[in-house]
């Protein structure tokens, strides 16, 4: 037993070695080590029972991959623009987880229950995912060849990842990931790789702060050396700066200065030097710098307005969406050759189209001339036509639709939406969407709606798409009851009837509403809602499809909101602003420089005491507690 305990201590994190092959499942080492089960349990992983015994590697179909399998084979191949040679590395075979009452004219078959969605890593919210780093640890990973280990992990991980600061510590290997989606995918392949000795490769993942090396600043002396180095690489006659593989520059290496443009401090230093010394820059070469993101480089967009040529070839950009961060450049020439993103397109035309969508004036891509962009030379200014009001098609349809909307929203705003069951067809469907820009840090202010948003532009997972689509009238109305209580400004409604016949009516209603309770009480929202209806047996309308889109109200929306008195539900009265309150709101907004919505929140919080509101605003602003969205007008 002493020997067994010693062996267990030595092999903590490695399970199922050949020493156990002839034990026929006996003993206490059949499953994962006890301390690893505890770690998995604390991490929210699977608990209970034991893992497969040593013999199970010969019998189960869990997708394990042996080390020898990695030596040969071929990657799944994709189109490589301009005929670049395909990779020859090996790829493992992946595991194949595979209305009611008088309003209903007919009854549709039921819909199967939605599939379960994959939980987020460690319970992180969307905003946390963008801020958290992850430390990946491979116990006893030092004995593996780096290329073999990373290839094995990547082949089983369904999401591409880029390891940052790969290193060994004792017998283990560790590296960092900044991408929560990749980290979540890696967490699912622990124990699915088997090495040549029969041991399973364990992958441990923990959230962590950004690595220390990313936060270290360059000294003043380092910055001066970097400035001199960049000066030597700058061609003033052509306004061209060549930073190709700058990390290996002899002048910097001799001074033991590491300029790695993937590091925030290094890229910020380069951007600052360019801004202060060569703002007229026309050509910039950033090739061979292992760039995998462009967040820090994007700060240069408004500082070099004349930049026309950009070389990002031979880097690690894995998605064309990275280019969205620098689409502010008016580029005529761009080079992306030898980046992983180039392998994601089925053909050359789709590749060119995706890049030109971001840089419409592009004339040359990867050294190849492109057809001249199609455009219109307009010498005189154009006047955008004013927005027209509602469109109904006929007075009869107008009266019919407005009557329906008045009845619908009087119930919707009453606080008890259960009566809306009579407005929906038995097989009705409902979906909710909100704007979900990845670069909008304030999207959490629509938090009550965000978790149920089915924005197809951002949501690519078919399982999640299905789950967020509400089927049949009971589920639809149950979901509507979960949404925040509201008061709609019917005077703000704009209605467009786009389809009408004897059997079908489709129309869109847009306007504004207030939330009347919860954290966002009195916040003004803008909405657009598409209704598709069929005739009901009682000469009314029966909704078969309902799509709701909610967004932030802009300053003009807020200014006009509830300007005319609107009907107030008796169960949740929300008074409109009096004339003195409107004057106070305007004065406070001018003094604080906040928009009207946030100014009104501050005044309401202070019981409309102007001096107290000013005092609270000053204190919160000094603490940095007021978000930037409050100052967007």
- The Cα 493–Cα 567 span in angstroms is 13
Which tens digits make up the pLDDT trace of 278-306? 999 999 999 999 898 898 899 899 899 99
- The Cα 389–Cα 494 span in angstroms is 6
Instruction: Annotate 106-135 with DSSP letters as a single string.
Output: --PPP-PPPPPPPPPGGG--HHHHTT-EEE
Q: Which residue has the tokens 């129309």?
A: 507
The pLDDT value recorded for residue 490 is 86
216-369 homologous superfamily: Ribonuclease Inhibitor (3.80.10.10)
Query: In sequence order, what are the residues at sequence separation of 6 or more whose Cβ sits closer than 8 angstroms to the Cβ of residue 178?
Result: 133, 134, 164, 293
Domain ranges of the chain: 133-213, 216-369, 395-437+445-560, 579-630
Helix (H) or strand (E) holding 514: strand 505-515
Query: In sequence order, what are the residues at sequence separation of 6 or more whose Cβ sits closer than 8 angstroms to the Cβ of residue 221?
Result: none
pLDDT at 535 over 60: yes
Mean predicted confidence (pLDDT) in 63-78: 44
pLDDT band at 619 (very low <50, low <70, confident <90, very high): confident
Q: Which of 247-256, 361-370, 575-584 has the lowest mean pLDDT?
A: 575-584
pLDDT band at 531 (very low <50, low <70, confident <90, very high): very high
Alpha helices in 43-163, H assignment, sequence order: 126-129, 146-156
- Residue 294 burial (CB count, 10 A): 21
The pLDDT value recorded for residue 97 is 38
**Dihedral pair phi/psi, residue 199, rounded to 5°:** -90, 145
Mean predicted confidence (pLDDT) in 435-444: 51
pLDDT at 71 over 60: no
Q: Name the residue with higher pLDDT: 199 or 5.
A: 199
Polymer length in residues for the chain: 633
Which tens digits make up the pLDDT trace of 466-500? 999 999 999 999 999 999 999 998 888 999 999 98
Tell which CATH classification among 1.10.3660.10, 3.90.1150.10, 1.10.8.10, 3.40.50.720 matches the domain 579-630: 1.10.8.10
Q: Are strands 470-471 and 424-433 parallel, antiparallel or unpaired?
A: antiparallel
**Dihedral pair phi/psi, residue 251, rounded to 5°:** -65, -40
At residue 268, the 3 state secondary structure works out as helix
Mean predicted confidence (pLDDT) in 571-584: 64
The pLDDT value recorded for residue 536 is 86
Cβ atoms of 217 and 265 closer than 8 Å: yes
Which tens digits make up the pLDDT trace of 212-252? 666 556 788 888 999 999 999 999 999 999 999 998 999 88
The pLDDT value recorded for residue 477 is 93
Cβ atoms of 316 and 340 closer than 8 Å: yes
Which runs of E-coded beta strand occur in 163-227?
Answer: 164-169, 172-177, 193-194, 204-208
Mean predicted confidence (pLDDT) in 103-125: 35
Average pLDDT of the chain to the nearest whole number:
76
Tell which CATH classification among 3.30.70.330, 3.30.230.10, 3.30.390.50, 1.25.50.20 matches the domain 133-213: 3.30.70.330
- The Cα 576–Cα 569 span in angstroms is 13
- The Cα 633–Cα 613 span in angstroms is 20
pLDDT band at 331 (very low <50, low <70, confident <90, very high): very high
The pLDDT value recorded for residue 40 is 45
- The Cα 317–Cα 472 span in angstroms is 44
Q: Name the residue with higher pLDDT: 459 or 69.
A: 459
- The Cα 437–Cα 111 span in angstroms is 32
CA distances (Å), 390 to each of 417, 493, 497, 551, in order? 26, 8, 8, 20
Q: Name the residue with higher pLDDT: 546 or 24.
A: 546
CATH code: domain 395-437+445-560 is 3.10.450.50
Q: Name the residue with higher pLDDT: 346 or 547.
A: 547
Cβ atoms of 104 and 534 closer than 8 Å: no
The pLDDT value recorded for residue 11 is 39
The pLDDT value recorded for residue 163 is 86
DSSP 181: H
pLDDT band at 458 (very low <50, low <70, confident <90, very high): confident
Q: Which of 381-385, 398-402, 458-462, 611-615 has the lowest mean pLDDT?
A: 381-385
pLDDT at 103 over 90: no
pLDDT at 48 over 60: no
Mean predicted confidence (pLDDT) in 550-562: 80
Question: 190: which 2 tokens?
Answer: 């622990």
Helix (H) or strand (E) holding 66: strand 65-66
Most confident of 67-81, 104-118, 165-179, 411-425: 411-425
Query: In sequence order, what are the residues at sequence separation of 6 or more whose Cβ sits closer than 8 angstroms to the Cβ of residue 140?
Result: 13, 14, 171, 172, 199
Which tens digits make up the pLDDT trace of 11-36? 344 444 444 444 444 444 344 444 44
The pLDDT value recorded for residue 376 is 62
pLDDT band at 137 (very low <50, low <70, confident <90, very high): very high
């Amino acid at each position: 037993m002493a020997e067994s305990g010693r062996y267990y201590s030595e092999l903590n994190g490695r399970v199922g070695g050949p020493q156990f092959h002839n034990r026929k499942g006996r003993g206490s080492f059949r499953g994962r080590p006890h301390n690893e089960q505890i770690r998995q349990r604390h991490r929210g992983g699977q608990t209970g029972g034991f893992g497969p015994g040593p013999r199970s590697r010969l019998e189960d179909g869990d997708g394990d991959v042996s080390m020898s399998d990695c030596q040969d084979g071929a990657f799944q191949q994709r189109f490589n623009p301009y005929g670049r040679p395909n990779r020859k590395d090996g790829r493992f075979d992946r595991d194949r987880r595979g209305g009611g009452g008088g309003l209903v004219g007919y009854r549709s078959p039921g819909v199967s229950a939605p599939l379960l969605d994959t939980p987020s890593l460690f319970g992180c919210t969307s905003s946390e995912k963008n801020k958290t780093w992850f430390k990946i640890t491979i116990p006893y990973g030092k004995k593996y060849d780096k290329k073999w280990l990373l290839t094995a992990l990547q082949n089983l991980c369904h999401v591409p990842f880029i390891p940052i600061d790969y290193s060994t510590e004792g017998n283990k290997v560790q590296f960092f990931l900044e991408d929560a989606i990749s980290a979540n995918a890696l967490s699912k392949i622990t124990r699915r790789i088997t090495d040549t000795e029969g041991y399973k490769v364990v992958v441990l993942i923990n959230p962590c702060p950004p690595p220390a090396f990313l936060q270290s600043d360059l000294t003043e002396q380092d910055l001066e050396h970097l400035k001199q180095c960049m000066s030597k690489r700058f061609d003033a006659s052509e306004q061209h700066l060549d930073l190709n593989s700058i990390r290996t520059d002899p002048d910097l290496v001799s001074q033991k200065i590491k300029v790695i443009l993937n590091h925030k401090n290094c890229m910020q230093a380069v951007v600052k030097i360019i801004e202060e010394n060569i703002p007229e820059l026309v050509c910039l070469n950033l090739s061979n710098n292992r760039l995998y993101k462009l967040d820090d480089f994007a700060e240069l967009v408004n500082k070099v307005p004349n930049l026309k040529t950009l070389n990002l070839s031979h880097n690690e950009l894995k998605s064309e969406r990275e280019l969205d961060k620098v689409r502010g450049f008016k580029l005529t020439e761009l080079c992306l050759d030898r980046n992983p993103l180039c392998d994601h397109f089925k053909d050359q035309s789709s590749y060119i189209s995706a890049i030109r969508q971001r840089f419409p004036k592009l004339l040359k891509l990867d050294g190849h001339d492109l057809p001249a962009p199609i455009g219109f030379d307009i010498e005189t200014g154009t006047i955008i036509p004013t927005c027209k009001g509602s469109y109904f098609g006929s007075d009869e349809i107008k009266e019919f639709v407005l009557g329906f909307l008045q009845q619908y929203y009087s119930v919707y705003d009453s606080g008890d939406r259960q009566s809306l069951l009579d407005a929906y067809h038995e097989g009705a469907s409902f979906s909710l969407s909100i704007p979900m820009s990845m670069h909008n840090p304030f999207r959490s202010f629509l938090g009550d709606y965000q978790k149920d948003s089915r924005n197809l532009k951002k949501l690519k997972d078919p399982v999640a798409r299905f789950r967020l689509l509400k089927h049949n009238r009971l589920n639809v109305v149950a979901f509507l009851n979960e949404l925040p209580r509201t008061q709609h400004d019917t005077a703000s409604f704009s209605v467009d009837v786009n389809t009408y016949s004897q059997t079908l009516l489709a129309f869109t209603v847009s306007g504004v509403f207030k939330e009347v309770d919860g954290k966002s009480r009195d916040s003004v929202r803008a909405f657009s809602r598409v209704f598709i209806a069929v005739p009901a047996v009682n000469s009314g309308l029966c909704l078969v499809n309902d799509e709701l889109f909610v967004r932030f109200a802009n300053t003009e929306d807020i200014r006009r909101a509830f300007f005319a008195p609107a009907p107030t539900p008796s169960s949740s009265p929300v008074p409109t602003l009096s004339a003195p309150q409107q004057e106070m709101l305007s004065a406070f907004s001018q003094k604080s420089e906040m928009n009207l919505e946030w100014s009104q929140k501050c005044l309401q919080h202070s019981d409309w005491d102007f001096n107290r509101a000013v005092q609270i605003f000053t204190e919160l602003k000094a603490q940095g507690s007021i978000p930037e969205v409050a100052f967007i007008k």
